[in-house]
Amino acid sequence: MEGDNQNINGAGPSTNGLLQDQRKLLPIARGRDALVREIQENDVTILLGETGSGKTTQIPQYLLESGASGSGIIAVTQPRRVAATSLAVRVAAEQNDKLGKRVGYSVRFDERSSPETRIKYLTDGMIVRELLSDPLLSQYSVIIVDEAHERTLRTDLLISNLKMIQGKRNHRSTGSKEKEKEKFNPLKIVIMSATLDAEKFSMFYQNAKIIYVKGRQHPVKVYHSLESQTDYVESAMRTFFQIHTDQTPGDVLIFLPGQEDIESLEKSIRLFANQLPHDVMDVLICSMYAAQAPGQNSKVFLPSPARTRKCILATNIAETSITIPGVKYVIDTGMCKEKRYLARNTGGGFDTLLTRAITKSSAMQRAGRAGREGMGLCFRLYTEDAFDTMDLSPEPEILRCSLTSSILQLKCLNQDLEDLDLMDMPDTESISSALKTLWLLDAIDQNKELTPLGRQMALFPLEPVHARAVIASREQGCTSEVLDIISVLSASSKLFVDVAEHREAASEARRMFRHASGDHLTILNVIRAYSDISTTGGKAARREWCRKHFLNEKTLSEASEIRSQLRQACGRMRIDWNVSCGDGEGQLLKSLAYGLAQNSAFLQPDGSYKQTMGHSVIKIHPGSVLCDKKVPAIIYDELIYTNQIYARGVSSVQKSTFTAIGALNRRSS
DNA sequence: GAGCACTGC
C-alpha cells in the first residue's frame, strides 16, 4: 500500500547514505534474498504485503540490484498517477540517480524515462495502451502489478493479457527450450496485493505461490457498536464528543458516505462544540470530498493549533487517495457511496449512485488510518456481527462499469472480451449493451467487426461517445469547439466547484456563462472566457478569476492538457483541429448528437422526458442549466440514478437533428 | 431540486 504516499520527498544524492540505512530497516529487507529467489524461480509470484512493508519501492530495486531482471525493464503498475510519479521520485533517490535515468515513470501527460531506464512506474491505463502498439509487452522482463486487490477494470484486463503473453513468451515449444527462452525473452509476473483475496489471484495463475510480507503499522484498537445504529450521522456525533471529552489529544477522522452527510454532521458538531465547558479543548472541523473547492481542504494538512482537536469529516477520499497526518482516532460509519452501472439492452443503461455498507477490506483500511503515526483507536458504528456479514472486498470494477471503451480497445487487439481468460466475467447483458452502443456509434458493424471508424475512435484517449463527436466535428466544421467541450467533459473533476457557504453566490456568478441551449455551450462560454483571461492576465489573475466565478481551476488546466493531447491525436488522423464554426451552434450540437444519439430523450405531453432509445422516464438534473425548462428534445452526457433517474450535462436539440444524422433508424434493431 | 473515489495513444 505504498501507492498512497503523497508525502514522499525526493531526496538528493547527499542524503543517500541515510536513505540506504532506511532501506535496510524496512520490514521487507530481511527477506530480500529469499524474495528474489522466489521471483526468479517462478513465472508468477503473488506477494501479500501489509501497509508500510516497503514492497512497492524495494522489490523492483532488489530485482535490479541482483540482476534478476536481466536486460529488460521492470514495470511497476499503479492505479493512480500520483502514486506512480511519487514512487519513481523516491526510488530514483534511493538509487542515487536522477529521475528519468535508471528509474522513471510514465503516466498520462507526463513521462520521465530514457533508454537507460530499468525500473518504470506506470499507471495501469498506460500499460494497457502500450498493449495496442506492443501486444507482447516485449521490452519488459518483469511486470509488477501493484494494488491488484483494487481490481480496477484496467488491472483486470492487464492480468488477463499477462497470462496470455506469458504463455506466448515463456513456453514456445518448438526447438531447444533454452534457446527459445532467450529469443522470446521470458516474462516474470509479480502480483502485489494488500491482504485478503490472495487465493483468487493464485488460482487464476495455476496456483502461483503466495508470499507474505509483514508490514510496519502501529497497532489500532478497534471497537464495535454493541447494537446497530439507525442514524449514523447522529451516532458519529455522539462518538466524536465521547472521544473529545474522554481521550487524550489527537485528531479524529470520520468516514461518511457523501457530501450531504458531511455537511449535516458539520452543522451539528459545530452546534454542540459551542456549548462545551471552557476547560475542554477547542474543535476545528475540516471537511474533505472531491467536489470541494481546492484550497478549502488544505487546512486538513496544517498542524492543529494549541488546545485544539481537529475533526476531519471525509468521504472515501481519505481512505486511499489522501493520507492525513496526525490522526489518532477513526470513526467509521461503515457506509460509502458506490457507483454501479446498470446495463440495459435499450437506452444504453445508466449509473446508480447509492449508499451501501462498506466491505471488510475497506473497514480495515479505514481503521488503519488511525495507526499511521502511533497507536490508534477506531470506533466502528456497526456491530461485530455486521462486520462479519460484510463482503470481503469491493466487487471488481469489470462487473460494475460500462464496458464500451474496453471492448473497443480489445477489438483493436483482435480480442473479444467474452473469449478472454478473466478473473471475473461480466454478465452477457453488460457485454451486449456495450456492443450495441458501439454498433450505434458505427464503431463495429452488424457482425461485431471493428469498422475503420471504430479503429479511429480507439486512437483517442476518450470514451467512444466523445470520440465519435470529435470525428463528426470534422464534417460539421467545428472541431475546435468540440475539442474545447469534450476536453472538459472528460476531465476528472467537475468544472463548477461547490462551496457550501456560498451556494447562492456561486450560481449568481455562473449566470453569466449560461447558454440557452444547455450545458455544453455553457461550458464553451466558460472556456472562451477563461482563455480571454489567460491571454490578458497571468497565473494569479487566472486563479482569482476562477475563485470569483466558483470554477475549478484544476479542471480547466487538466482540460487544456487533454485538449492539446486531443489536438495531437487529430493531427495524426489528419483532422484539422483549428476549424471553427464561430457562433454556429447548430453544427456543434449536431456533432455532439452523433456521439450522444443513444443518450437522448423527447419531451412527453405530461412534461416529463422519455428516452428515445429506451423506456425510462428521466428528469433533468438540478445542476443543469436546462433544469425546469421544457424543450422538445435533449441529448445528455450521462444518466445517474440516485432517487430518480437524472440526466446530467444536457443540451436542447432539434428533433430533426436525429433524422438528419440517421440515428433513429437503428433504434428498433 | 442535488454531486463516492480513480483513470487514458
Q: What percent of chain A has pLDDT over 70?
A: 93
Tell me how crowded residue A291 is: count the other CB atoms within 10 A of its CB.
Answer: 14
Nearest 10 degrees: Cα torsion A342, A343, A346, A348: 90
| Per-residue CB contacts under 7 A with strand B, chain A residues 597-616 | none
Q: What percent of chain A has pLDDT over 90?
A: 60
Distance of alpha carbon A164 from alpha carbon A378, whole angstroms: 43
At A535 the pLDDT is 85
| Per-residue CB contacts under 7 A with strand B, chain A residues 408-467 | 459, 461-463
User: Hunting for cell 489573475 — which residue is that?
Assistant: A541
Cβ-proximal residues to A353 (8 Å cutoff; 6+ apart), any chain: A337, A338, A339, A640, A641, A642
Between strands A350-357 and A376-380, the pairing is: unpaired
The residues of chain A that CATH labels 3.40.50.300 are 2-213, 220-394
Distance of alpha carbon A308 from alpha carbon A280, whole angstroms: 9
SS3 A609: strand
**Which DSSP symbol is given to A205?**
T
At A150 the pLDDT is 86
Q: Are A239 and A268 in contact (CB under 8 A)?
A: no
Amino acid at A572: R
- pLDDT over 70 (residue A344): yes
Bases along strand B below 7 A from a protein CB: 1-9
**Which DSSP symbol is given to A312?**
E
Cβ-proximal residues to A668 (8 Å cutoff; 6+ apart), any chain: none
- pLDDT over 50 (residue A128): yes
At A394 the pLDDT is 84
CA-nearest of A407, A556, A589 to A488 is A556
Three cell numbers written together for A148: 491488484
| Per-residue CB contacts under 7 A with strand B, chain A residues 192-251 | none
| Per-residue CB contacts under 7 A with strand B, chain A residues 73-92 | 79-82
- pLDDT over 60 (residue A208): yes
| Per-residue CB contacts under 7 A with strand B, chain A residues 569-588 | 569, 572
* pLDDT band, very low/low/confident/very high, at A202 (cuts 50, 70, 90): very high
Class of domain A2-213: alpha beta
| Per-residue CB contacts under 7 A with strand B, chain A residues 165-194 | none
- Cβ of A151 near strand B (distance < 7 A): no
- Cβ of A498 near strand B (distance < 7 A): yes
* pLDDT band, very low/low/confident/very high, at A138 (cuts 50, 70, 90): very high
Give me the DSSP letters along A544-555.
Answer: HHHHHTTB-HHH
Per the structure, the residue whose CA is closest to nucleotide B4 at C1' is A337
CA A520 to C1' B1, in angstroms, rounded, equals 21
| Per-residue CB contacts under 7 A with strand B, chain A residues 626-665 | 627, 640, 642-644, 646
Q: Are A324 and A358 in contact (CB under 8 A)?
A: no
Query: Stretch A208-222: mean pLDDT, rounded?
Result: 88
Distance of alpha carbon A266 from alpha carbon A591, whole angstroms: 44
Distance of alpha carbon A371 from alpha carbon A287, whole angstroms: 20
Give me the DSSP letters along A250-281.
Answer: -EEEEE-SSHHHHHHHHHHHHHHHTTS-TTSP
Per the structure, the residue whose CA is closest to nucleotide B6 at C1' is A80
Nearest-nucleotide field for A314 (CA, C1') = B4
* pLDDT band, very low/low/confident/very high, at A296 (cuts 50, 70, 90): low
Three cell numbers written together for A183: 529469443
CA A581 to chain centre: 34
Distance of alpha carbon A443 from alpha carbon A303, whole angstroms: 53
Distance of alpha carbon A615 from alpha carbon A347, whole angstroms: 7
Per the structure, the residue whose CA is closest to nucleotide B9 at C1' is A459
Q: Please report how the helices A81-94 and A16-25 are oriented relative to each other, as an axis angle in degrees rounded to 10.
A: 110
Roughly how many angstroms between the first and final C-alpha of chain A, as a whole number? 48
- pLDDT over 90 (residue A353): no
- The average confidence (pLDDT) of chain A is 88
Distance of alpha carbon A239 from alpha carbon A115, whole angstroms: 56
Cβ-proximal residues to A18 (8 Å cutoff; 6+ apart), any chain: A11
Dmax (CA) for chain A in angstroms is 84
Per the structure, the residue whose CA is closest to nucleotide B2 at C1' is A622
Q: In degrees, to the nearest 5, what angle opens at C-alpha A541 toward C-alphas A537 and A545?
A: 120
pLDDT digits (tens, 9 = 90+) for A438-470: 999 999 999 999 999 999 999 999 999 999 999
CA A195 to C1' B3, in angstroms, rounded, equals 32
Q: Are A602 and A633 in contact (CB under 8 A)?
A: yes
At A666 the pLDDT is 63
Three cell numbers written together for A321: 487517495
CA A481 to C1' B9, in angstroms, rounded, equals 22
* C-alpha pair distances (Å), A1 with each of A59, A158, A445: 13, 19, 43
Query: Stretch A243-252: mean pLDDT, rounded?
Result: 94
CA A2 to C1' B5, in angstroms, rounded, equals 18
Q: Are A130 and A137 in contact (CB under 8 A)?
A: yes
- Cβ of A316 near strand B (distance < 7 A): yes
Class of domain A220-394: alpha beta
SS3 A223: strand
DSSP E strands, A10-102: 44-49, 73-78
Cβ-proximal residues to A269 (8 Å cutoff; 6+ apart), any chain: A237, A240, A241, A283, A285, A311
CA A144 to C1' B2, in angstroms, rounded, equals 41
pLDDT digits (tens, 9 = 90+) for A464-507: 999 999 999 999 999 999 999 999 999 877 888 877 667 777 87
Three cell numbers written together for A322: 489522501
Give me the DSSP letters along A145-165.
Answer: ETTGGG--HHHHHHHHHHHHH
The phi, psi pair for A6, rounded to 5°, reads -95, -15
- Cβ of A511 near strand B (distance < 7 A): no
Q: Are A78 and A158 in contact (CB under 8 A)?
A: no
Three cell numbers written together for A570: 487529430
